[in-house]
Amino acid sequence: MSVWIWGPIGVAILLGVAAALAWKPIRSALRAARYERARKDFRRQRERLEAKFFQLASSSGKPKGLRWTNCEFENDVAYARDRHSGELCAFVAVTISFEAIEGGLMEGVEAVGNLRAATAMFRTQGERWQTEGRALFNVNPAEAIQRYREDLEVISQELAVRH
């Protein structure tokens, strides 16, 4: 074979290798930009998301015999990436209060009035943040991510500004 054939093949191979080497940092930068946009969107939509969370969680019938009366959201947010779908998840610590449903199994139970710690879970679906009203009881956001470490990887922790 002549040099005229091997020259273009060599150039093509070099370009292919260069593209393969460049793709990983480019993909990483694109992913980081996507996650930053998602975090900004979460901050903008947070009030709506919290209201939706409370609506869905309080209508879930869980825990049995209790009615949700209030849900206080902490300011800090922990973000994780779903290893399978690539979607971003946000975890926020919450303090929930309940009251017993009249005539239910929990009526008359003294502990019903105790505040409960939990973590509210939110996730992106495409470009939009959603919630299913899922509360993970008795764990903080870091523990929630750790519980699902096979499916999630930590992206960042956004701490509230303290004055």
Question: What Å distances lie between residue 64 and 99, 100, 117, CA to CA?
Answer: 11, 9, 17
Average model confidence (pLDDT) across the chain: 84
Backbone phi, then psi, for 61, in 5-degree steps?
Answer: 80, 10
Domain boundaries, the chain: 46-158
pLDDT attached to residue 25? 65
d(CA 75, CA 4): 65
Please indicate whether residue 28 or residue 47 has the higher confidence score (pLDDT): 47
Identify the CA nearest to 80 among candidates 127, 141, 163.
Answer: 141
- The pTM assigned to this predicted structure is 0.79
Task: List, for residues 57-94, the tens digit of each pLDDT value.
Answer: 999 888 888 889 999 999 999 999 999 998 999 999 99
Q: How confident is the model at residue 27 (pLDDT cuts 50, 70, 90)?
A: low
Q: Mind listing the pLDDT tens digit for each residue in 100-122?
A: 888 777 777 777 778 999 999 99
Strand partners, 50: none
